[in-house]
Structure 1
Amino acid sequence: MMNQTAIFIDAGFLLSLGGHRAAGTTLRSAFTTHYEALVRGIVQTVKKNTGLNNLRVYWYDASKDGLFTEQHKRIGLIPGVKVRLGRISYNGEQKGVDLRLALDLVGVARNRSASIAYLVSGDDDLAEAVEEAQDLGMKVVLLGVAKLDSRLGVASVAEHLALTADYIETIPDHLLDGAFTQVLEWDKNHSEKTSLIAKSPAERATKPNLESTVPTPAVMSNKPAIKSFAEAVPEAEVVYSSDREKSGYQGPAAYEQKELSVAEEIGAKVAESWLAFTTQSEVFDLLADKPQLPPEIDRTLLKDCAQVLGEWKTDQQTIRRTLRGAFWEYLDRIV
């Protein structure tokens, strides 16, 4: 087996954690990702930890019809990066990403192309592929984002996957802070101005204090646009496990009402953040399709909620209905 490494990155997983760290939400319009610096930093981290050269970085993401976007093309042109795309389904879910990653991981191990694989993902579904690669003689290391209050020491990683890997390492904080940047915030009245655009002329006349419906950018803020939702429930411990009956909150947050309350807060916060970065035409389009939400907003609701309640709690229909209902309720109050 070649004495070198290979890096497998679930882009949705990494961008969600990095974006949430920088902007307090996984909404991609709320942050900018410096892809070349991110990839180069991960490769350098792996080399520093192992002393080995890297075969390739495999970058897994999803797109409509599995076609390359301009962003994917730019990432694919980074030296040493191979972009592999799944598809985005009608309801906004990724399809085929985990399968491609699993096949590539096992394929590299079977061809003896690398001796150590670094996996940037938290998905429990990859545990079987990890074990297969290990049986073929490859070491598999989880590379995650540090989370000190987690039992695993990393954020949003399924316990079964963590137990399957040979060991866990973390991406340096300074690398994440440099690779993810919160976008320019609008002034504090932007959300109200944007919502006013969607009102009728008669309704607009009731708020003459707004001098213009054109938002103006503010200075770059060092604080997130919205507060980290994990900070809202410090007494809770998120426990990830493939055994869903034992996953989720322990302690006071185990009560369903507490979880629904957190979901309501997250739904409202995502709506607030979306309004802060949206445009006039996007407001019109969203209201025209009510109650259906665009896939990007729906994914953001679910991912932000998963940061607090865990993936399995977010799968519950009551939680999902509460998230979406709170999003629309906030917009109804503002718009």
Structure 2
Amino acid sequence: RIHTPEQQAIAELPDVKVRLGNLNANNQQKGVDSLIRSDLESLARHRAISDAALVGGDEDLVSAVEAAQGYGARVHLWGIEAAEGRNQAEALLWEVDSQRTFDLDFCRPYVTRRPVTMYENEGEPPPSRDEVRFIGARIAATWLAERGRDQLAELLPGDPYLPGPVDQDLLMEAEGLLSRSLRGHAALRRVLRDGFWQHLRSQY
């Protein structure tokens, strides 16, 4: 639950609350649905809102919608046009009071995907665990030299999980040093994070 600089800037805006879930070992965010439900239910129960705009598509959000509606609030589901098929759960579409879909062309200027680098040696055996762990420690040394002990102190409470942007930068830098992708090697990505954390802990 460590704020990134972007999340910190958003959190400081008036009338805005940032809710952070937890990152699991695969860097997947967990626990956000329950926070959404808690906020929706509390706001509706205290008559602080009459309407809520919910941006999402996960079926797990159905209970949040039901909770808010139980206190008389109307819930409006917003989504982004799917490139193909449907990207919102049918059960969620049935439950909400109204729906709105934003065109892909409307969203594209504000959202970009990082390019995936293709390496020539993808068919070769993957690097060893020791090699990947060493790369993780090497990147950690550079990270610490550039950012200093103050940022290290902010990072340590999240051990063994890394904030999404830090984890993504670690992966991309490691892939560059190894000249191969680690996207299909979950075990090696965990070893990479272990090497990164081991060096940082040794320096604190």
Quote the sequence identity (%): 32
For residues 304-323 of structure 1, the aligned pairs below 5 Å read: none
Q: Does 1:82 align with 2:10?
A: no
The answer as to 2:109 corresponding to 1:178 is: yes
Where structure 2 has 5 or more consecutive residues not aligned to the other structure, the ranges are 128-170, 191-204
How far has the Cα of 1:90 moved from its partner? 2.1
CA 1:293/1:138 → structure 2, altered by over 3 Å: closer, same or farther?
A: farther
1:135 counterpart residue number: 70
The one-letter amino acid paired with 1:135 is: G
Amino acid at match of 1:165: V
Q: Is the 8 A contact 1:194 1:279 kept in 2?
A: no
Tell me the equivalent position of 1:281: 177
Aligned partner letter, 1:192: E
Does residue 1:156 correspond to 2:87, yes or no? yes
RMSD of the alignment, in Å? 3.7
Distance 1:191 1:74, change over 3 A: farther
1:292 paired residue among 166, 187, 192: 187
1:145 shift after superposition: 1.1
Preserved contact between residue 114 and residue 138 of structure 1 (Cα < 8 Å): yes
* Alignment TM-score, normalising by the size of structure 1: 0.37
| Residue 109 (structure 1) aligned to one of 33, 36, 44 | 44
Q: 1:281 corresponds to which letter in structure 2? A: L
Residues 82-128 of structure 1, C-alpha deviations (whole Å, 9 max, x = no match): 21001112243322211111100111111111111011111112212
In the alignment, which residue of structure 2 is the partner of 1:69?
4
Structure with a larger share of its residues in strand:
1
- The runs of 5 or more residues in structure 1 that have no matched partner are 1-65, 200-273, 296-335
Q: Aligned equivalents of 1:191 and 1:149: distance in 2? A: 29
User: Which AA in structure 1 matches 2:108?
Assistant: D
Please report the TM-score for the alignment, with normalisation by the length of structure 2.
0.57
What residue in structure 2 maps to residue 56 of structure 1? Answer: none
1:181 partner amino acid: T
Aligned residue pairs, count: 146
Check conservation: 1:194, 1:280, Cα contact below 8 A.
Answer: no
Cα distance in 1 between the residues matched to 2:177 and 2:61: 40
Question: Which aligned runs of 4 or more in structure 1 are off by greater than 6 angstroms?
Answer: 193-196
Q: 1:164 to 1:185 in 2, by over 3 A?
A: closer
2:119: which partner in 1? 191
Q: Could you tell me how far apart the structure 2 residues matched to 1:134 and 1:171 are?
A: 24
3-state SS of paired residue (1:83): coil
